[in-house]
Structure formats: structure tokens, C-alpha cells
Amino acid sequence: MSFVNEVIAEEDLEKYAILEIDHRLHMCHYERWWIRDAQRDIYLRWIDTDWEHPNKNYFMFYWKGTLFHVALSRDNRVTLLGESETTWKAWSFSSKDYLQIPIELEPYREEVTRDLKEALTTFKDLGRYSVVRKHTAVMRF
């Protein structure tokens, strides 16, 4: 299976403690959605954009039991043909309060990064609200 852009099902709100996360982050949503690969137990949720620096975006990235807070800056290029490319640069990548990847996951760093890139490719430029047809994510970290 691969990543899909979908509304979060009611049973997954509880399974992944989404409402608790949203409450902790002071988020309110009319519609909760994510980029998810259910088979591999991975998801990416866009959380916020720094409106003073709109190229900086915050995500929650759940990777096989570990929840990361990911802050990325981006540079977008969109063509008239409905294609786009986003260059993502790591601003902060942590499992809790801007700490490094947990030592037990260090051997999987390449896999975690590859899965994050794949999820960001599915996210495109605006996740559920994207209108581009084809998207490429470039990682610079």
C-alpha cells in the first residue's frame, strides 16, 4: 500500500489519540485529515504554518509507534501544467520538545527520512486542499 490523503476515520481518532494531540496543541478543526499509509502504520499531519514566515510549516509525523514533531521550511515551484516541486529543508525534527531522533531509532534514520519524503510527496503543496496533479518533494537534510 502507499500513502493516501484522507479524512481521519472516527476509530483512528481514538487509536492515535488525535483529539488529545489537537487539544495539547490548541488546535481546532472542522475536518481532520492526514496523509497515511495504514499498512506500514505511518501518517503525516499538517499542523500549522508560521504566518510571519509562511515557508515554515509544522507537521506531526507518526512512524511505526513514534510520534515526531517536524518543522520544515519549503520553497515551492509550480508550473502552469499543474505540476509542482517543493524543496523541504529541516528546521526541526524531534520526537519531543525539539530533541533528536531517539537513539533506538537512529539505525532507521534513512528509512524514516525516506518515508517522510514519500508522505510529503503525497501532501503535495497543500495536503487535502492541493490542486496540483503531479508533485515532487526534494529533501535537503
Closest of 107, 76, 105 to residue 89, by C-alpha: 76
Q: Domain boundaries in the chain? A: 4-139
pLDDT tens track, the chain, 141 positions: 699 999 999 999 999 999 999 988 888 777 799 999 999 999 999 988 888 887 888 899 999 999 988 888 888 776 667 778 888 877 655 544 444 577 888 899 889 989 999 999 899 877 787 777 777 887 776
Distance CA 91, CA 52 (A): 15
Residue 94's pLDDT is 54
63 phi/psi in degrees, rounded to 5:
-125, 100
**SS3 call for 100:** coil
Kind plus residue range of the DSSP H or E element containing 68 = strand 66-78
Tell me the pLDDT tens digit for each residue of 76-90.
776 667 778 888 877
Grid cell digits, residue 8: 481521519
Distance CA 92, CA 13 (A): 25
Residue 60's pLDDT is 92
CA distances from 44 to 11, 36, 37, 99, 100 (A): 17, 6, 9, 19, 18
